[in-house]
Amino acid sequence: MYLRRAKECQQPYLAGIPMDYERAIEIWTQTYRHGLDHPRRGGTWVFVHYDQVLDGSAAARLGNALGAPVNTNFADTALRRSSPAGPVSADAEEVYRQLCGWADLRRAHTAIEH
The dihedrals phi and psi of 21, each to the nearest 5 degrees, come to -55, -50
* DSSP labels, 47-71: ---HHHHHHSTTHHHHHHHHTS---
At 75 the pLDDT is: 80
Provide the domain count of the chain: 1
Task: Print the domain residue range for 26.
Answer: 2-113
At 8 the pLDDT is: 67
pLDDT by residue (tens digit) across 56-81? 889 998 999 889 998 888 788 887 76
CB neighbour class for 86 (10 Å; exposed up to 12, middle 13-18, buried from 19)? exposed
